[in-house]
Amino acid sequence: MTDNKKVALVTGSSRGIGFVTSITLARNDFLTYASMRNLDKEKEIRLVVDKENIPLKTLQLDVTDSTSVNNAIKSIMDETGRIDVLVNNAGYGLVGAFEELSIEEIKQQFETNFFGVIRVTQAVLPIMREQKSGIIVNISSGAGRFGYPNGSAYVSTKFALEGLSESMAYEIEPLGVRVVLVEPGFVRTNFSNVVAKRSQSPSSQYSKMTEKMAESFDQMKLNSSPPELVANVVLEAVTSKNPDLRYLAGKDVEQWMEQKKYMSDKEFFNMIKQSLG
């Protein structure tokens, strides 16, 4: 399957952005390893592979488990001897007012969304350094550039990812390795949101805000971008000779960032409050 193809690894590929990105890379002649925590969820992506005969393999990889990560990377290296592209996509959203989040819930959010990226990247980076080439794509979010109510845990992981990526860029560019942040807005996927336990209670002090937030998000999703848009941005970045550090993905996030550029913090804060009801 290699045939001198570039080798790509995508985490969180059982659905959503990871699913579509894996297929998009494979359709564009990358030997793609679509990894997922549970291989019982590989059926849908295997149907596409079998129908189109594209160079894609599924692989078990749990970003929260170092043994799983190391085994997956070893498997790829045994088969191909190289990794040219890493797309860190695995993640989920923890929803709830900050006061109602348990420390355990916040830790688990960071374990997947942030430390998972660190775990996989630290396993792949030495390979790319030895190759003197490679590109690491971290799927961030508009939430990595500004906050919103009920998103403190998720937003915090994306802010952390932005800082990590920007700092890494200075260190690894001289080695021939690039890092890219892709920042989607709302995307039409079955992205996993987990509501904090205390926020599910009818007696929550923040229940009215949570209800309004859910209504606002449902409305925004009506005009959200398809996951193919994000996948194509990833493809653009990994095929560019000189990729940018950041790529916005979606008309909504482009509009928000344009407004943020010309507004004071107070003006932007009030605008977000108003748009979210």
Catalytically active residues, by annotation = 140, 154, 158
Residue 132: C-alpha distances to residues 173, 178, 262 (Å):
10, 10, 40
Do 213 and 195 contact (CB within 8 A), yes or no? no
Structure tokens at 166: 């920007």
- In single-letter form, the type of residue at position 88 comes to N
Those residues with Cβ within 8 angstroms of residue 78's Cβ, 6 or more apart along the chain or in another chain: none
Of the candidates 73, 87, 255, 93, which has an alpha carbon nearest to the alpha carbon of residue 180?
87
What is the spatial distance between Cα 251 and Cα 98, in angstroms, rounded to a whole number?
A: 29
What is the spatial distance between Cα 54 and Cα 231, in angstroms, rounded to a whole number?
A: 16
Do 86 and 237 contact (CB within 8 A), yes or no? no
Those residues with Cβ within 8 angstroms of residue 124's Cβ, 6 or more apart along the chain or in another chain: 9, 73, 83, 86, 134, 136
Residue 254's region, left for phi above 0, alpha for psi from -120 to 50, else beta, is alpha
Structure tokens at 87: 């797309």
